[in-house]
Structure 1
Amino acid sequence: MSSSVLYDAQGPRAKRRNIVYSIVFVVAVAALVWWVYQGLNDKGQLDWEKWKPFFAGSEAWTTYILPGLKNTLIAAALSMVIALPLGAVLGIARLSDHAWIRVPAAVIVEFFRAIPVLMLMIFGVALFSQYTDVSSDDRPLYAVVTGLVLYNASVLAEIVRAGILSLPKGQAEAGQAIGLRKTQIMTSILLPQAVTAMLPAIVSQLVVIVKDTALGGAILTFPELLASVSPMSSYYGANTIASFTVVAVIYIVLNFSLTSFASWLERRLRRAKKSTGAVLPPTAVAGAESTGIAA
């Protein structure tokens, strides 16, 4: 029986036991799927008439789904564009040596990170209705973006701060040794290295932004993607399961595309860092030797 540093190799009894567990798990999952299928089929939720609007015409898409998807993407994109730089500024400010910068940034981050994003959206509606001239039609969008920006910028600030603190102290000390200012060390040395480490957490937070736009539809009557399910289901004869399924698939595709792009970008950044070494031509080396620089 062989073994490794991390674990001991399984013996015959353990292998048989794992095979039995796998078979039991597969049977249980199959039974659950069959039970769900039978329940939906008995209630008529799998009838073609329930799914026909999504596959046999474009009315459901052009009237309900695509307008809702458009509003979701608008709210999410605006929130990302504002929250990312704001979170970076707050995260860097929390690392400042000056208390008059560090303390207010910490208070802002901890305050808005502790408040539920839905409450921030509700406060946003009240704020825009009482103190601005924003129309009632645009007010839900403004409130959703405001809530998402305040909450997610605070979370992103902590991600940025943790990413920078995870770097070895020698990185900053090397910049100080060659006479760089603190701003130059942050922008030229620390942030470029921390971006790759922070990217998975940042993308996870961006996915949260996309999903949290649904809170605006549930509470603030913001006509986003998930909010299109109720009128669509009512119009097409209570096809609630079909409507939710289609919308869920759209969310999955949207978030999977976002994470796939982030994975590609992370691999590209890592390859770029590995290939940043400058290669001097032979003439430059010969010139350096002739002037005595190489020695």
Structure 2
Amino acid sequence: MSTASVLFDAPGPRARVRNRVVSAITLVFLALVLWVIYGKLSAKGQLTSAKWEPFLTGNLWKTYVLPGIQGTLTAAAISIVLAMILGFALGVGRLSHNGPIRWFCSVFVEFFRAVPVLIMMIFAFALYALYDVFPSKQLALAGVVTGLTLYNGAVIAEIVRAGVTSLPRGQAEAASALGLRWGQTMRAILLPQAITSMLPVLISQLVVVLKDTAIGYQITFVEMVRQGTQVGSAYGNYVPALIVIAILMISVNFALSAAAVRVEKRLRRSSRAPRPLDAQAIEQEGAPGARVQQAD
């Protein structure tokens, strides 16, 4: 049976004709919708060359776009690192044999998964401002990073737990039979395999972190989408400004996804490769044989 007919029956001649007709009608409808939208935007002068000219000046990029890109990438990078650390710690904690640790991690994960990211950002921003935890210039960044770290750390913890529990139970049992402790089994056997299997989900979650930085405009954080709306307000070109910002966001997300996919391929390739032998083990185990060969 071919892969195309595993989930559904192969369409017959009439079905293929019907599918082509439906596809053609759909494409024509979408083309008409785009044409109407283009006509309305053109009538309002949003797609004229004059609306795009500000993006050819360095002042616009220096004043609006580049600070937004810097803010988005800074918040995303810090949040991704902290969320990965927190998520792996919580995910392993939920699998712990220690009851209090497992209970605490479970409550933490379930609570912060249920709280909206924006609420956590606003709460952290107000809390930091009330107790002067961070300088005033860094308050918005700290609030955004805190909200993204707590929420995405809880989500990553569930990803880690699901990745480890999806592995065959025989591996943990074999490690226990060899005398390995739970921590050694998790660190040396289970987690390396789970990371490889859950990388696609982790990649999508990292892209979510990058996109969710746009919520930070509610606490005056300087990021790409907020700066795009400010460009539209300053130059009266909302549609071109949002199109440019959308292209930049898509490019950054695509670059992040491509980099993560490359890491995934390298990890999968290295996991299939034979493990290099330890030089000291070769000396200890192969020394008698080596002496015999030398004696021959």
What TM-score do the two structures reach when normalised by structure 2?
Answer: 0.89
Question: In structure 2, do the counterparts of structure 1 residues 5 and 26 end up closer, same or farther at CA, with 3 Å as the change threshold?
Answer: closer
Letter in 2 for 1:232: V
What is the distance in 2 between the residues matched to 1:228 and 1:6?
A: 46
Match of 1:227 in 2: 226
Match of 2:242 in 1: 244
TM-fit CA distance, 1:94: 0.4
1:95 aligns with 2:95: yes
TM-fit CA distance, 1:10: 2.7
**Contact 2:71-2:222 at 8 Å conserved across structures:** yes
What is the distance in 1 between the residues matched to 2:152 and 2:145?
A: 10
Any gaps of 5 or more consecutive residues in structure 2? none
Match of 1:271 in 2: 269
Letter in 2 for 1:104: F
Aligned residue for 1:90, secondary structure, equals helix
- Name the one with the larger helix percent: 2
User: For residues 201-245 of structure 1, what are the alpha-carbon distances to aligned partners after superposition, in whole Å with 9 as ceiling and x for unaligned?
Assistant: 11111111111111111x101111111123212221x10001111
TM-fit CA distance, 1:156: 0.7
1:141 aligns with 2:136: no
User: For residues 93-132 of structure 1, what are the alpha-carbon distances to aligned partners after superposition, in whole Å with 9 as ceiling and x for unaligned?
Assistant: 0011111110011111111111001000111012111123
Aligned residue for 2:136, secondary structure, equals coil
Question: In structure 2, do the counterparts of structure 1 residues 230 and 14 end up closer, same or farther at CA, with 3 Å as the change threshold?
Answer: closer
Question: In structure 2, do the counterparts of structure 1 residues 9 and 213 end up closer, same or farther at CA, with 3 Å as the change threshold?
Answer: closer
Deviation >6 Å, runs of 4+: none
What is the distance in 1 between the residues matched to 2:87 and 2:275?
A: 31
**Contact 2:229-2:242 at 8 Å conserved across structures:** no
What is the distance in 2 between the residues matched to 1:49 and 1:145?
A: 38
What is the distance in 1 between the residues matched to 2:206 and 2:140?
A: 20
Match of 2:16 in 1: 15
What is the distance in 2 between the residues matched to 1:4 and 1:262?
A: 32
Question: In structure 2, do the counterparts of structure 1 residues 136 and 5 end up closer, same or farther at CA, with 3 Å as the change threshold?
Answer: closer
What TM-score do the two structures reach when normalised by structure 1?
Answer: 0.90
**Number of residue pairs aligned between Structure 1 and Structure 2:** 283
What is the distance in 1 between the residues matched to 2:139 and 2:103?
A: 32
Aligned residue for 2:67, secondary structure, equals helix
Aligned residue for 1:180, secondary structure, equals coil
Match of 1:259 in 2: 257
Q: Give the alignment of 1:112-261 within 5 angstroms.
A: 112-217=112-217, 219-236=218-235, 238-261=236-259
What is the distance in 2 between the residues matched to 1:144 and 1:247?
A: 20
Letter in 2 for 1:32: V
Aligned residue for 1:137, secondary structure, equals helix
TM-fit CA distance, 1:71: 0.9
The alignment yields a C-alpha RMSD, in angstroms, of 2.3
State which drifts further: 11-20 or 75-84.
11-20
**Contact 2:122-2:143 at 8 Å conserved across structures:** yes
